[in-house]
Amino acid sequence: MMNIAVAQSGGPTCAINASLVGVFCESLKVAEIDAIFGSINGIEGMIENHLVDLKTMILSNNDMDLLRQTPSTVLGSCRYKLPDWKEDPSDYEKIAATLKQRNIGAFLYIGGNDSMDTVNKLSEYFAEIGLDVKVIGIPKTIDNDLCVTDHTPGFGSAAKYVATTMHEITRDSIVYSIPSVTIVEIMGRHAGWLTASSAVLHAMGETAPHLVYVPEVKFSLEGFLGDVRQEMSKHKAVIIAVSEGIEVPEGVQSGVVDNFGHKYLSGIGKYLEDVIRSEIGCKVRSIELNVMQRCSSHLGSKTDIDEAEAIGAAGVRCALAGQTGKVMVFRRIEDIPYTVTIETADASQIANKEKFLPKNYINSAGNNIRNFALNYFLPLIQGDLNLVKEHGIPKHFAIHESVLK
């Protein structure tokens, strides 16, 4: 008999709790697994031995249904970066102590490429000290920027939010008789996946978004203004999707840096709004989709949520098969009918690396997405959750805030 532990890390998505359900349900099925521990606030809970017994928290099928439709991380999150264990093993020693004390034989870490760095380091450290604990990464991120995997859980729901909302913003933008420009700022520091997903509106016959700017293409203000003027000659209301991560002149980004060295970006949309107002002088507004694009689980993609659960369950099976230092990944077999398999990759192939939008997804002008690329995005946003509601709004699973410290 052994116990198992799971933690959630990084920025919220709509699918992280579904992966938790996958880990939990699969573990329940395995006779050799006894307790299923949830680590509070990601790896911090492992360091501080702050774990909850998930069997006392998730009590029914109803609880699992609620978890599947609850955004963010029910166990809390962290952005804590483990140091190199060769230089400072203190965190690792504490984690090893927690694992031994709790008789934990496998640790599943649900997170982005920073968390996969943790998976990689921990598996190396355990090999070094001869501790038999399997470490498996379960991917998640709305940014869809993890290498090897076809896509990441959380991305499909975020893309569905972006497409649905861009569609509604398009209706909202077209009503007045005067020409206007609407700029929608979408998350994505270095990779334009989520911004590009707004182009699925083209499959519905919409001309919007008329312009799409992603970080993979060098941004030029002059080119931008030329593009906007050209689209304004064709459309009364021009709708623009712009990634928060496009590089604009110095001084626009706030420059605040988080623990992983990421810059907090904001205000690109507002900046471009000001540029258009001063250079073109038309009615213009900017809209930041902000955290809604990562937490709007009422718009969750069933494909995404189901896959998130399946990849969590597959992680448990992978650990039980004796693998460690691995990340579960999707391999796409076909777009139509959409078919994926779940496989494994070495965490070192994914940790601290980013996957960018393929160059051929972007049109030759560098300001929109090619139609054939929609075949990549469309399957990921299909299907809706059968949401449990209370008082007319979707119900959430929540552990008491005191448990999260």
Q: Residue 9 CB, nearest distance to a second copy (Å)?
A: 10
Dihedral (CA of 22, 140, 54, 132) sign: positive
336 lines the binding site for a second copy (CB under 8 A) = no
Q: ∠180-186-189 over CA atoms, to 5°?
A: 135
| Residue labelled with tokens 């991380």 | 73
113 near a second copy, judged by CB under 8 A: no
349 binds a second copy (CB under 8 A): no
Q: 142 or 313, CB closer to a second copy?
A: 142
Q: Does 49 sit near a second copy (CB under 8 A)?
A: no
Q: Is residue 98 a contact residue for a second copy (CB under 8 A)? A: no
143 is catalytic: yes
Q: Which is nearer to a second copy, 120 or 157 (CB)?
A: 157
The alpha-helical segments, DSSP class H, found in 73-203 are: 90-101, 113-129, 155-173, 193-197
In the set 3, 72, 113, 344, which binds a second copy (CB under 8 A)?
A: 72
Applying CB under 8 A, does 395 fall inside the site for a second copy?
A: yes
Closest CA to 172 of 299, 268, 287, 295: 287
Rounded to an integer, what is the distance from CA 273 to the centroid of its chain?
A: 27
Single out the catalytic residue among 143, 145, 227, 304. Answer: 143
Neighbours of 253 (CB within 10 A): 18
What residues contact residue 387 under an 8 Å CB cut-off, 6+ apart? 69, 298, 394, 395
| Dist. CA 199–CA 378, nearest whole Å | 10
Cα–Cα distance between 156 and 193 in angstroms, integer?
Answer: 10
Can residue 235 be called a binding residue for a second copy (CB under 8 A)?
A: yes
Output the smallest distance, CB 177 to a second copy, in A.
5
Q: Does 292 bind a second copy (CB under 8 A)?
A: yes
Question: Which helix H or strand E contains 172, and what residues bound it?
Answer: helix 155-173
User: Hey, what amino acid is at 219?
Assistant: F
- Asked if 222 interacts with a second copy (CB under 8 A), we say no
Site string for a second copy, 147-176 (x = CB under 8 A): -------------x--xxx-xxx-xx-xxx
What is the DSSP code (8-state) at residue 265?
A: P
**Chain residues that interact with a second copy, rule: CB under 8 A:** 12, 41, 44, 70-73, 76-79, 160, 163-165, 167-169, 171-172, 174-177, 200, 203-204, 207, 235-237, 285, 287-292, 294-299, 301, 378, 381-384, 389-396, 398, 401, 404-405
Report the catalytic residues: 143
